[in-house]
Structure 1
Amino acid sequence: MMYKDIKVIAFDADDTLWVNETYFRDAENEFAKLLNDYETENKIHQELFKKEIENLKHYGYGVKGFMLSMIECALELSNNQLDTNLINRIIEIGKDMLEKPIELLNGVEEVLQTLHGKYKLIVATKGDLLDQERKLDKSGILKYFHHLEVMSEKKVPDYKKLIGHLDINPSELLMIGNSLKSDVLPLLEIGASAIHIPFHTTWAHEMVSEKQAQSKDFKTLSNIKEVLAYL
């Protein structure tokens, strides 16, 4: 067994267990159409992304921070002349996102059923705590997990802190996720294991260079069900 030392398997949530980025892309497109009297849709997308990145240090990740970034971006693009009806519509876009049904990705429950009891399973994700708890509760898969770990960032210090909380060695942790930047490369740096399962849509902030992606120390699989061949 390649992962013979593993005691804990951590799963990323968004776009690993369930669909998420697709809803953000749909919301961005709706936002751009709302404001197309002020700028081209391409420019609106660019400005919104810049505003999101600028605001990460204030709001963190998640729908609520995204809503605030949309409002700030709209006010700036309109030179603070934005109609209040448009502000209300932007808030509605965010609320609609928070009420989206949870769409599990293919094979997720089968994998969790198989691994449950053999390993300690946890969710390790970024985002808004309330929203991630809501999604996990609505997903129907909460019963498989020991606990939910919502991290402000997923970088080396954050994973070291997680390993400390779990009271395990790095070699005893396997992370499964869709982001090379957040779910794979930091784990390899601290001596843990990682499996990459790409999602068809990736937020630009999670992209890495081709050089960074060339590490041979992790597996890339096309579907989460394939992990069962290694565990």
Structure 2
Amino acid sequence: MVNLSTIAFDADDTLWHNERFFKLTEERFAELLRDHTDANGLPKRLYEAEKRNLGHYGFGVKGFVLSMIETALDVTDHKVPGEVIRELIDVGRDMLAHPIELLPHAQETVEALAGSHRILLITKGDLLHQERKLAQSGLGDFFDAVEIVSDKTPDVYARIFAGHDGGAEGAMMVGNSMKSDVRPAIEAGSHGVFVPHDLAWDFEHADAPEHPKYHEIADLGALPDLIKAIG
């Protein structure tokens, strides 16, 4: 077995909070449309629009805002007031500018592992927003490479890990999404570590794999000991 030489981290809701801002914005979205449509079924309509638009806009705040606007138009038969659209745009800008708040043990764990392993950041979403969040996080100097991708698939992980010593067999992917961080990384040949987060987008749900390279920890503070145990 190849020893672990590369540790890759997801960003949103693995190293810093993210989904909480989407949830708060969804609540504001419902408030803005309360006087213009029946609120029943609104979350489902928005979720359907988000999934439908992933292929057009990708992941992130910008696609989310466009999906809110599309949903607002659809559920009101294009009668939604212009000031509501204006506020949805403003809410999106607020999301893009929101300060970064690191999750517990994120900094100490990344910093500790940077002294013994090659550390990668593999995240998906809007390029400018992800770069801004990384810069604000204070973690940027610890990463040997940063990959901002349109989606996370086995082929993407295989390509990224192939560029580092040990390849996928000597790599570990750490993240809060079973669908995007864990399962495809394991399919590519690496270890996959699931770190649950209290909030998770429905799209990212998937069953845990039955695989010897699958691991689950309560928080990032447990990661160094897990890595030592694997070798």
Per the shorter chain, which TM-score range?
over 0.9
Deviation at 1:230, TM superposition (A): 2.2
Given the superposition, is the C-alpha separation of residues 4 and 164 from structure 1 closer, same or farther in structure 2, using an over 3 Å criterion?
Answer: closer
**Aligned pairs (5 A) from 1:1-231:** 5-166=3-164, 168-208=166-206, 212-217=207-212, 218-231=214-227
Per mean C-alpha deviation after superposition, the further-off stretch among 114-123 and 158-167 is 158-167
Distance change in 2, residues 1:122/1:214 (3 Å):
closer
2:123 is matched by which residue type in structure 1?
T
State the distance in 2 between where 1:15 and 1:41 align: 28
Q: Which secondary structure state, in structure 2, belongs to the residue aligned with residue 230 of structure 1?
A: helix
Residue type of the alignment partner of 1:179: S
For 1:170, the aligned partner's letter is: A
After the TM superposition, which of the residue ranges 186-195 and 56-65 deviates more from structure 2? Answer: 186-195
Cα distance in 1 for residues equivalent to 2:216 and 2:38: 37
TM superposition shift of 1:116: 1.0
- Cα distance change, pair 113–146 in 1 and its aligned pair in 2 (3 A): same
With the length of structure 1 as denominator, give the TM-score of the two structures: 0.93
Q: CA deviation at 1:191?
A: 1.6
What TM-score results when the alignment is normalised by the length of structure 2? 0.93
- CA shift for structure 1 position 165: 3.6
- Structure 2 residues without counterparts, runs of 5 or longer: none
Q: 1:173-204, CA deviations, whole angstroms, 9 ceiling, x for partnerless residues?
A: 10000011111111111221011100001100
Q: Match for 1:21: what amino acid?
A: E
Supply the distance in 2 between the matched residues of 1:112 and 1:219 (Cα, whole angstroms). Answer: 18
AA partner of residue 230 (structure 1)? L
Output the amino acid matched with 1:70. M
Unaligned runs of 5+ in 1: none
- What is the SS of the residue equivalent to 1:213? coil
Letter in 2 for 1:183: D
Please give the secondary structure, in 2, of the residue aligned with 1:118.
coil
More deviation in 194-203 or 74-83? 74-83
**Distance in 2 of aligned mates of 1:166 and 1:58:** 31
Q: Is the 8 A contact 2:6 2:165 kept in 1?
A: no
How much does 1:37 deviate? Answer: 2.3
What amino acid is the match of 1:28?
Answer: E
CA distance in 2, matches of 1:185, 1:228: 21
